[in-house]
Structure 1
Amino acid sequence: MGIIEALDETSSKAVKTGEDYVQTTKHYFELKVFQQLAILTTSTCKLAVYGILSTLGLIFLAIAGAAALSTYFGSTALGYLCMGGIFFVLVGLVYLVRKKIEKSVIKKLSKNYFD
């Protein structure tokens, strides 16, 4: 009977250890999901605030720049047209460096995710 009791005790310990491992793993993944959601939420909120403020600043800067160019050229339409052209040039530059921007974003996300 000693061998059967020893096997029973060993298998009970193995089951208990397995259950503890599953519970610990479950808690770890719950915390990891919470961490990722917290990072995503805070990043989204910061991006929204920065985006709104930057957009407002850019609008005022564009209007002031267009007014200054209008005075310089002596034509309101030409000032606003030049300001629109400047924005299209900026969009073109961002388009040219889009791969570098994507790589930078992916590196940052992978650092946060696989940490």
Structure 2
Amino acid sequence: MGIIEALDETSSKAVKTGEDYVQTSKNYFELKVFQQLAILSTAGIKLAIYAILCTLGLIFLAVAGAAALSSYFESAALGYLCIAGVFFVLIGIVYLLRKKIENNVIKKLSENYFD
């Protein structure tokens, strides 16, 4: 009878240990998901704020630059065309560097995700 009771007690402890492990693992993964969501959402919000402010700054800078160039060239159209050309050059540079930008973004995300 002692052996059966010992087996029953041992199996009960094993079941309890298994349940504790499953619960601990579940809690860990919930916290990991929360951490990733927090990182992603704060990065997204910061990116949106930076993008809005940079866009506003670029608009004012472009208008001021175009006005200055218009005064210099004595032609409003030429001033605005020069500023448009600068933006197209910047777009071309970003297009040429797109793979490098993508690799940096993936590297940064993987550092946060796989830590």
Which category describes the TM-score, using the shorter chain as reference length?
over 0.9
**What displacement does 1:107 show?**
0.8
Aligned to 1:23: 23
Q: How does 1:72-91 map to 2 (within 5 A)?
A: 72-91=72-91
Residue in structure 2 matched with residue 66 of structure 1 by the alignment? 66
Aligned residues: 115
Contiguous gaps of at least 5 residues in structure 2: none
Shift of 1:18: 0.2
Q: TM-score, normalised by structure 2?
A: 0.96
Counterpart of 1:64 in 2: which secondary structure?
Answer: helix
TM-score for the superposition, normalised by structure 1: 0.96
Deviations 1:46-79 (A, max 9, x none): 1111111100000000001111111121110011
Distance in 2 of aligned mates of 1:55 and 1:27: 41
Aligned residue number for residue 8 of structure 1: 8
- 5+ unaligned residues in a row in structure 1: which ranges? none
Percentage identity across paired residues of the two chains: 81
2:36 matched residue in structure 1: 36
Spell out, residue by residue over 1:17-42, the C-alpha distance to the aligned partner (whole angstroms, 9 max, x if none): 00000000011011111111111111
Query: Root-mean-square deviation (CA), in Å?
Result: 0.8
What is the match of residue 111 of structure 1? Answer: 111
1:48-67 equivalence runs, <5 A: 48-67=48-67
Distance (Å, rounded) in 1 between the aligned partners of 2:94 and 2:72: 28
